[in-house]
Structure 1
Amino acid sequence: MNSIFNSTFEISLRVLLILEDSNESLYSSDMLAAIDFMAVYGQDFGVSDSNMHGNNLFKYSEFATRRELTKEATKNLVLKGLISVNCNENGFTYTITTTGTQYCASLKSDYANSYREMIIKVNRYIKDMSEKNILSLINEHSIRSLRKGGN
Structure 2
Amino acid sequence: MSRMTLKQTLKSDLTSAMKARDKVRTGTLRMTLSAVTNAEVAGAEVRELSDDEVLKVVIKEAKKRREAATAYDDANRAELAEQERAELEVLEAYLPSQLSDEELDALAKDAVAETGATGMAGMGQVMKVVQPKIAGRAEGGRVAAAVKRALAG
Q: TM-score, normalised by structure 1?
A: 0.25
Larger RCO (CA within 8 A; separation ≥ 6): 1
Select the structure of larger CA radius of gyration: 2
Q: TM-score, normalised by structure 2?
A: 0.25
Task: Looking at secondary structure, tell me which structure has more helix per residue.
Answer: 2
